Amino acid sequence: MMKVTDAGFVKEFIRMCEDGNSLGWHERNGGNLSYRIKSSEISSVSDLFSYGEWKDITVSVPGLANEYFLVTGSGRYFKNVILRPEESIGIIQLDNKGDKYRIVWGLENSKPTSELPTHLMNHETKKILTNGEHRVIYHAHTTNVIALTFVLPLKDEVFTHKLWEMATECPVVFPDGVGVVEWMVPGGRDIALATREKMKEYDLVVWAHHGMFASGPDFDTTFGLMHTAEKSAEILVKVLSMRSEMLQTITDDDFRNLAKEFNVTLKEKFIG
C-alpha cells in the first residue's frame, strides 16, 4: 500500500530538509519549512488521513481557508526528518475561516512549528501577490547572514546592496532585494505581522540575530534563494575578516549594466 512518504511532494520536502541540514543551518530544532499542497497532490494521499481536533492558529489567514500544508514539527530536528518522518513532519488542514488547523497526517506526539503564524501569513501574502504561484516558505538559521546582523545597519538598502555586491549572481537571483526585521521575540503574532509587511516587497527576509525566511514557487527555487544569499554573506564575512577596506568592488554602473544585460529591474535605492 502507498504511504504518504511515497508521494513526490513529500519526498522533495524531505530532500530539502536534508539539504539545509547538510549546510549546518539547522542546529538542534532550528529552522522550519512549510509547503502549500496542490489539490491534485492531496487527492493522491487523502485516503491515508485521520482527522485530529481543530486548534487555534493565533492569527487569521482567511486567504488560506481549507488549504492543506506539509510542515515541520515544533521542537523536531531537521536531521531526523528522513529517519522518522511521521514524527518530524506532518500535514495540516485549515478550517473554512482560516482561524484553526487540524493535523491529518504525521506530527506524531508533536504539533506544527512554533513559527506557524509567520509561515501562514507569508503564504497568504504570497498566494495573493503571485496569483497562487508561491507555495514554499522556508526558515533557516544561516550563520553568515546572522553574523552580519551584528555589524551592519539593519536596513533593507544596506543588506541588499552588500549581498548584491559580494556575488555577481545576487542581483539577478533576487533583483527585488531583501528585507530586514529587527530583533523580535520569535514564534508569535507580532513577528509574523512584521515579516508579512516585508514579504509584500521581497521574497527574502532577514531576522536580525536569528536567521532568514524565504518564499518561492517550488523547493529548488526557494532553497536556491536562501543558499545564494547565505553564500554571499559568507563572502562578506571573509572579506571583512581579511581587511576593513576593499581595493575594488562591483560599482554602481556595473550594477546598471548587469541589470540591462540580464533584463532585471534593480531599484536605484539599493544601488547608490
Q: Does 21 bind ligand 13P (CB under 6 A)?
A: no
Please, what is the minimum distance in Å from the beta carbon of residue 216 to ligand 13P? 19
Q: Which is nearer to ligand 13P, 57 or 271 (CB)?
A: 57
Task: Tell me the backbone φ, ψ of residue 94, rounded to 5 degrees.
Answer: -90, 155
195 vs 216: CA distance, rounded Å: 15
The 10 Å CB-count burial string (b at 16+, else e) for 136-154 is: bbbbbbbbbbbbbbeebeb
Please, what is the minimum distance in Å from the beta carbon of residue 247 to ligand 13P? 38
Is 115 in the active site? yes
The residue annotated as part of the active site, out of 12, 18, 115, 268, is: 115
Instruction: Residue 68: name the closest of 106, 15, 11, 29 by CA.
Output: 106
Binders of ligand 13P in range 69-88 (CB under 6 A): 72, 74-75
Binders of ligand 13P in range 82-141 (CB under 6 A): 113-115, 139
205 vs 226: CA distance, rounded Å: 10
Binders of ligand 13P in range 37-76 (CB under 6 A): 72, 74-75
If one counts every other C-beta atom within 10 angstroms of the C-beta of residue 270, the result is 21
C-alpha cell at 32: 522550519
Q: Does 30 bind ligand 13P (CB under 6 A)?
A: yes
Contact footprint for ligand 13P (CB under 6 A): 29-32, 72, 74-75, 113-115, 139, 186
Catalogue the active-site residues. Answer: 115
